[in-house]
Amino acid sequence: MSRAQQNTLLSIGMPERDQLNKELGGGIPRGSIVLMEGDYGAGKSALSQRFAYGLVDEGASVTMLSTELTVSGFIDQMYSLRYDVTKPLLNEELLFLAADFDSGGNFSESDADRKELLKRLMEAETMWNSDVIILDTFDSILRNDPTFEALVRNNDERQAALEIISFFRDMISSGKVIVLTVDPSAVGDDAIGPFRSIADVFLELQMVEVGSDVRRNIAVKRFAGMGSQVGDSIGFSVRSGTGIVIESRSVA
């Protein structure tokens, strides 16, 4: 990989722990939208947490918005994967934000607040100051915004996504990276379609049951601006006390 290529990538580091950065061609392209799609349990949160930890370790600033974890839950989860985020949080290199959603993925505040959910997200200036912004899970935000839902029901999903996509493009124009995790079973193809279309990096997380074992896989659907060659399939597991472990790779 040339020096010019290295300067256009944000390394997710940790070569001594796993080979994820190498498997992804040396890092995430600056100025990109990354869509990480997979069903419940596929490993979206674990991978986004791995991204956050590795990026901060490499000197990038990261904002992580979670619709599932509280601050203490996030710290405990990261600790269980041997990703100690205490120092990055205290040094404000990592900003963690817990969205107020209940266990069913529904927004807990008033209907008036719910109607302004995407608008409030875009107007939260502090969270967009980081080099990398991770929204986990983005589908919870989409399906809790009534305006977005209404447009999708009227088969106008592109209009529904237009404002937030325009905002994302404005953010990445300065070199920022936005990572979106999505459960397709929660919102449907019509709602996700526009975000699939504009994603610079599109990773589909898959699960396959082999006997009593569950094997996870990253299918690389799109990877614009890659450094070195990126395989079309990356096998991985999530292990307590270890974190992400790369299991296998096949090159297209």
Amino acid at 225: G
pLDDT band at 229 (very low <50, low <70, confident <90, very high): confident
Q: Residue 72's pLDDT is what? A: 95
Q: Can you give the pLDDT at residue 131?
A: 98
CATH class label, 3-101+109-250: alpha beta
Helix (H, G, I), strand (E, B) or coil at 106: coil
The pLDDT, as a whole number, for residue 4 is 43
Number of H helices, E strands in the chain: 12, 11
Give tens-digit pLDDT for 9-35. 999 999 999 999 999 999 999 999 999
Q: What is the pLDDT of residues 83-142, one digit of tens each?
A: 999 999 999 999 999 987 554 445 445 444 445 788 889 999 999 999 999 999 999 998
pLDDT tens digits for range 146-176: 888 787 778 777 787 888 999 999 999 999 9
User: Cβ-count burial of 184 within 10 angstroms (0-12 exposed, 13-18 middle, 19+ buried)?
Assistant: middle
Please give the structure tokens belonging to residue 107.
Answer: 């927004």
Q: Which of 2-6, 75-79, 151-155 has the lowest mean pLDDT?
A: 2-6
Pairing of the two strands 201-210 and 33-37: parallel
pLDDT score recorded for residue 101: 58
- CA dist 33 and 196 (Å) reads 10
Angle between helices 44-57 and 71-80 (to 10 degrees): 80
pLDDT at residue 132, rounded to an integer: 98
Instruction: Give the C-alpha separation, 223 to 212, whole Å.
Output: 32
pLDDT (tens digit, 9 = 90+) per residue, 48-66?
Answer: 999 999 999 999 999 999 9
Model pTM score? 0.90
Tell me which residue has tokens 């590795």: 54
